[in-house]
Chains A and B, each alone.
Chain A
């Protein structure tokens, strides 16, 4: 049964595209974000909706939004379905904010890179609250290239696959996948929330490409095609090595590894088929058209400030717990930290921050199955 109402938390390209998708499907949509990010919601409130362009349709449509709010904590009260789509550095602050009002019977989907559900449990644990929730993470946004072009207007491309969802507890995954398929019919069930966390495409292709092109990006103020110009054969091998380390982490958690990063490029609809090498596949894919403006602020780009501390540091923390070597991931963290003069390990997301350090492999698996620890 499809819900009639949803609260969408966030105000970036992902959240706006999700809100527009749901509005067009006839749901009553409330869009909310914290005051410091909520400036973009004014235009949406004024036009009573989001002007959205889905690239497969090629035309702009006004998707209805019932109302907007800059008070997420209260906007979610009574909502059966809450969808949160914010950058990973917003997971824990939002989870802490929502933890006081989340209540029995609510479903919270964290859409985008995984980890929001873990942050929610951690936030509830620290408040000593345990409402009966259904929590779930996706592994990545169901859209490619989602971006806010001007206030109240968003453009995005629907993916066709490669979107996985897992619930905390694991037993609720099937139910939540069927709910999510009302909006994104291609969503598949992940084995558990560790799998959706580790199928993190941005972590695999963002950091490696930026670090190995830092000397170029920092001196070019013009936007360039990051992967077309930057993913040379040697750089593609570094991307492949990061993917290989994520594969080892999945294997160490007993997750079946059938697909690699390159397969997911195909699954997401970014390229029709695999080429002779990962380098060839990337060059033939939509990644090759992706623009990047770095200049002197390259190391302040989300490809570094989000993907290093929130994805790679977490992977390294998991590797440490599982006693798996991830030298290339550790290397990228060390180089990014030294180049930016920021201790990304210290500020990043770790098992310790979630209260899961020392759980061991079995403890980690038990935690996601129980949906609590």
Chain B
């Protein structure tokens, strides 16, 4: 296939390198203001990949001249950018998609909820659209044009929008990431958001340390104390309740997904699993306002705000999620509910639980 990966962060680089290894012709693109991230790739004519599955050499990947041209040429379009850019990229991608292209959002879920209405408006329901709930890798930048990526062992969920096309999408994605699992609908991929679950409670309860201590913190190693882990569990529990109320059968919890991703051994309760896993060794920057903002803003605005808005629509209380939103808003002086992802912004206000499920299963609302 000809593929384009949009997003020059570590996730995008890992995906592009993987696709290349799978024998596809791969282009990579980003918005002009971030395209400097791609300069090194252009110079070395590819991406340096240091991984847990293959040798360390440059994968030939071409930097696209423009997003429009690359999309127009691609059978597979992968978007791997922070959720705040989803609307913008949807606008840049939709007009150029090839007939019957496959278009996947990889990373945190929810992008398809933005993209699908635009596809409908453009009369492009021929496009096979889907999303994952998380990156299929643990990835971080390892230098210019170079990424360190380890494949996960599971816990990567995939759903098509609408869900009637799940099987078709799974067939394509399994050929790229054999460990992806089918989610029932994109509500699952949007709500099983590991970063929102394990990052927001820790950032809120380590706020002063993140803001004040220079030189970085062991984010979970220091911050995931027994009571903070109970907060993580409470956020996860509210998200699980929402999934259940929307009729999804997967009862796995964040703890189980940590084990499934290969990030922790299966050794007991959530606290024991987290302490025994690799998260406790992760360092995050600290020492200024940005260190706090970078851990909170996206996860609150694009996952927790959506969860809260869903809860309101279907009559499920989410007091701990709402609490994290309110405290984060006060802490960062931001209106996350105003700028974030809500049912209203997705054009789904007024739908009840069955209407919301019908929408992601069929692609259409009852009206």
Chain B residues within 8 Å of A234, by CB: 207-208, 211, 289, 292, 331-332
Size range of the chain B interface in the assembly: 35 or more
Q: Say yes or no for A320: interface residue by CB 8 A criterion.
A: no
Bound-state CA distance A330–B204 (Å) is 15
Q: Could you mark each residue 321-354 of chain A with 1 if its beta carbon is under 8 Å from any beta carbon of chain B, else 0?
A: 0000001101111110011110000000000000
Chain A residues within 8 Å of B264, by CB: none
Given known contacts A213-B206, A331-B327, what 19 new A-B pairs fall within 8 Å (CB)? A211-B204, A213-B205, A214-B205, A214-B206, A216-B222, A229-B212, A234-B207, A234-B208, A235-B208, A241-B330, A242-B330, A328-B326, A331-B322, A331-B325, A332-B327, A334-B319, A335-B327, A339-B227, A339-B230
In the complex, are the beta carbons of A335 and B204 less than 8 A apart? yes
Q: Say yes or no for B231: interface residue by CB 8 A criterion.
A: yes
Dominant secondary structure at the A interface: helix
Q: Could you mark each residue 76-88 of chain A with 1 if its beta carbon is under 8 Å from any beta carbon of chain B, else 0?
A: 0000000000000
Partner of A218, one of B225, B234, B323, B330: B225
Bound-state CA distance A339–B233 (Å) is 9
Q: Say yes or no for B226: interface residue by CB 8 A criterion.
A: yes
Q: Say yes or no for A237: interface residue by CB 8 A criterion.
A: yes
Q: Could you mark each residue 85-128 of chain A with 1 if its beta carbon is under 8 Å from any beta carbon of chain B, else 0?
A: 00000000000000000000000000000000000000000000
Closest to A240 in B: B330
Q: Say yes or no for B333: interface residue by CB 8 A criterion.
A: yes
From 206 to 254 in chain B, residues with beta carbon under 8 angstroms from any chain A beta carbon are: 206-209, 211-212, 222-228, 230-231, 233-234
Interface residues of A (CB under 8 A from B): 208, 211-216, 218-219, 229-235, 237-238, 240-242, 296, 298-299, 327-328, 330-335, 338-341
Dominant secondary structure at the B interface: helix
Chain A residues within 8 Å of B320, by CB: 334-335, 338
In the complex, are the beta carbons of B204 and A212 less than 8 A apart? yes
Closest CB in chain B relative to A301 CB, distance in Å: 12
In the complex, are the beta carbons of B322 and A235 less than 8 A apart? no
Closest CB in chain B relative to A317 CB, distance in Å: 15
Bound-state CA distance A296–B225 (Å) is 9
In the complex, are the beta carbons of A218 and B327 less than 8 A apart? no
In the complex, are the beta carbons of A338 and B211 less than 8 A apart? no
In the complex, are the beta carbons of B323 and A212 less than 8 A apart? no
The 10 listed contacts between A and B (C-beta, < 8 Å) are A211-B204, A232-B212, A234-B207, A235-B207, A241-B326, A327-B325, A333-B323, A334-B319, A335-B324, A338-B230
In the complex, are the beta carbons of A212 and B327 less than 8 A apart? yes
Closest CB in chain B relative to A319 CB, distance in Å: 13
In the complex, are the beta carbons of B330 and A338 less than 8 A apart? no
Bound-state CA distance A341–B325 (Å) is 20
From 77 to 134 in chain B, residues with beta carbon under 8 angstroms from any chain A beta carbon are: none
Given contacts A234-B331, A240-B330, A331-B327, contact A218 B228 (CB under 8 A): yes
In the complex, are the beta carbons of A214 and B322 less than 8 A apart? no
Q: Say yes or no for B202: interface residue by CB 8 A criterion.
A: yes
